[in-house]
């Protein structure tokens, strides 16, 4: 057990965690997509709508039970105490595991008791199904707690056997139900079993981690006063997570309020925005695992201030280039084939949302860099600043949509997201420049310039040239470095094949 440096051991550890986190997120996302398609195909959109509604209820309860302990705050605390060799590590891990599970159990019990009331709020949902879904809160809460410990210990291989396993089992069960002609309610029973199996495997992996790092978790290690203090310290970390989860719902609510006059227009506006928002998140499939793996590594490096800052800067430079290449590539591809993609996947009326899609992709590209700065700030005692800037982001978002949505509809909503993302990242750049240095700012500026070149090419009416412009611009500016990308590919291949 060592701090690890960026070169060579720390670099390989970071690369390994990024690869496994990426595989985990992509696998879970693909399984979720296939599962949704299968439910709609075999059981209809009505049952799918009820299922999604119940999932939303359980996810809201899960977020409420988290407090940030089973997310960024818990990861940071575990990584920091490991780096310091603190004797408070066992207490911290116990809090990360037990507190969210206890709160989740309380909320699940409330959902179970008030199943009739919740069922009345959604026509077609039976109270018995609500009560079955209540168990998902506890089961998924336990998995998230185990996941936080694995990430905090920088052992992301373990998370492959947690959330992705649950999603794969759930999707497999849908196909089993369809093949055996089971009633729709059987999906709920099987999904509960899938969560239970995934939790059992997660607990086994947690036990392995506890042995490896000589950690012990115990209810007696938790002190009420210390727990309250830890929860209060964790809340600023939780603001960003809650905001990311709630963003599409905020905008859908605003869009719905402006289109109440025509129900069909409302459905199309909200649906097209959700479709574009989902597609725009493709670059985040890389940004999220990088940020997940980056936080504990920066915590370790910041514990060695004599050379930790230079290593953090080197990491941010390389990762920002990687994210910039991926983000601008997706942007160029959608500039060229965006309308065809929307027409292929969805009804013809969705093709008109191409501009909305491109604006949202640009916003997500900016957010990817912002996410990396978040990890630096949260790892180095600036979590409250991150929370403040996130609140500022959503205040700006709501204000901008108030003026832009009535005039421009879903495009106005997308522009609002872009404006809010720009203000958010500008604030974080200012803070990091004042407290550290402009970490990764050079590659980020190159990313913006390449994106500007692609946009200018599209506006000039030469969409077919967007890909060549991307390649030439990224190569000339040094954003795209084939040798560096190839090195990442070889390293990822080695990690996947050897399991190292």
Q: Print the SS3 string covering the chain.
A: CCCCCHHHHHHHHHHHHHHHHHHHHHHHHHHHHHHHHHHHHHHHHHHHHHHHHHHHHHHHHHHHHHCCCCCHHHHHHHHHHHHHCCCCHHHHHHHHHHHHHHHHHHHHHHHHHCHHHHHHCCCCCCHHHHHHHHHHHHHHHHHHHHHHHHHHCCCHHHHHHCHHHHHHHHHHHHHHHHHCCCCCHHHHHHHHHHHHHHHHHHHHHHHHHHHHCCCCCCHHHCCHHHHHHHHHHHHHHHHHHHHHHHHHHHHHHHHHHHCCCCHHHHHHHHHHHHHHHHHHCCCHHHHHHHHHHHHHHHHHHHCCHHHHHHHHHHHHHHHHHHHHHHHHHHHHHHHHHHHHHHHHHCCHHHHHHHHHHHHHHHHHHHHHHHHHHHHHHHHCCCHHHHHHHHHHHHHHHHHHHHHHHHHHHHHHHHHHHHHHHHHHHHHHHHHHHHHCCCCCHHHHHHHHHHHHHHHHHHHCCCHHHHHHHHHHHHHHHCCCCHHHHHHHHHHHHHHHHHCC
Angle between helices 163-179 and 11-66 (to 10 degrees): 70
Every domain of the chain and the residues it spans = 7-222, 236-500
Cα separations in angstroms, 269 against 225, 350, 444 = 48, 10, 32
Q: Which of 149, 152, 160 is nearest to 24 (CA)?
A: 160
pLDDT score for 358: 94
pLDDT score for 262: 46
pLDDT score for 261: 43
CB atoms within 10 A of CB 483: 6
**Length of the chain as a residue count:** 500
CB atoms within 10 A of CB 156: 25
Q: Which of 323, 439, 305 is nearest to 375 (CA)?
A: 439
pLDDT score for 5: 41
pLDDT along the chain (500 residues), means of 10: 45 77 83 80 74 77 68 78 82 84 88 84 78 89 89 82 86 91 87 92 91 83 67 65 58 52 52 76 84 80 68 84 93 92 77 88 92 84 82 86 82 90 91 77 92 95 93 92 80 61
Q: What is the pTM of this model?
A: 0.74
pLDDT score for 268: 62
């Amino acid at each position: 057990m060592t701090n690890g440096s960026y070169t060579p051991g720390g670099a390989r550890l970071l690369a390994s965690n990024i690869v496994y986190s990426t595989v985990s997120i992509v696998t879970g996302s693909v399984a979720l997509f296939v599962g949704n398609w299968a439910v709609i195909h075999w059981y209809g959109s009505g049952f799918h709508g009820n299922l999604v509604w119940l999932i939303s209820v359980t996810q809201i309860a899960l977020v409420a039970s988290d407090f940030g302990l089973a997310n960024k705050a818990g990861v940071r605390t575990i990584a920091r105490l490991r780096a310091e060799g603190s004797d408070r590590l066992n207490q911290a891990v116990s809090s990360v595991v037990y507190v969210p599970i206890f709160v989740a159990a309380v909320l699940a019990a409330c959902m179970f008791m008030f199943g009739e009331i919740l069922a009345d709020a959604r026509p077609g949902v039976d109270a018995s199904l609500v009560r079955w879904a209540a168990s998902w809160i506890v089961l998924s809460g336990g998995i998230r707690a185990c996941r936080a410990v694995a990430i905090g210990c920088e052992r992301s291989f373990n998370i492959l056997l947690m959330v992705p396993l649950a999603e794969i089992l759930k999707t497999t069960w849908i196909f089993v139900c369809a093949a055996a002609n089971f009633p729709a309610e059987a999906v709920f029973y099987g999904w509960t079993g899938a969560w239970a199996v995934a939790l059992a495997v997660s607990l086994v992996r947690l036990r392995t981690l506890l042995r490896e790092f000589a950690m012990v978790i115990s209810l007696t290690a938790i002190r009420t006063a210390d727990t309250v203090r830890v929860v209060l310290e964790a809340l600023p970390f939780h603001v960003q997570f809650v905001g990311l989860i709630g963003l599409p719902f905020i905008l859908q609510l605003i869009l719905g309020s402006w289109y109440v006059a025509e129900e069909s227009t409302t459905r199309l506006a909200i649906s097209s925005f959700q479709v574009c928002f989902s597609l725009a998140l493709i670059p985040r499939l890389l940004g999220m695992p990088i940020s997940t793996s980056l936080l504990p590594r920066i915590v370790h490096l910041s514990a060695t201030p004599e050379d930790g800052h230079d290593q953090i800067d080197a990491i941010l430079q390389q990762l920002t280039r990687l994210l910039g290449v991926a983000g601008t590539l997706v942007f160029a591809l959608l500039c060229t084939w965006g309308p065809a993609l929307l027409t292929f996947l969805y009804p013809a009326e969705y093709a008109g949302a191409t501009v909305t899609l491109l604006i949202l992709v640009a916003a997500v590209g900016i957010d990817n860099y912002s996410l990396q700065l978040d990890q630096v700030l949260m790892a180095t005692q600036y979590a409250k600043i991150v929370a403040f800037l996130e609140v500022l982001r959503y205040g700006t978002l709501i204000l901008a949509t108030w003026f832009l949505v009535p005039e421009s509809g879903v495009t106005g909503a997308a522009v609002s997201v872009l404006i809010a993302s720009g203000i958010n990242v500008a604030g974080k750049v200012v803070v990091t420049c004042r407290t550290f240095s402009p970490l990764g700012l050079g590659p980020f500026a190159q990313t913006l310039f390449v994106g500007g070149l692609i946009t200018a090419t599209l506006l000039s009416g030469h969409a077919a040239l967007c890909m060549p412009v991307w390649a030439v611009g990224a190569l000339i500016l040094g954003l795209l470095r084939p040798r560096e990308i190839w090195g990442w590919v070889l390293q990822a291949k080695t990690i996947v094949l050897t399991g190292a």
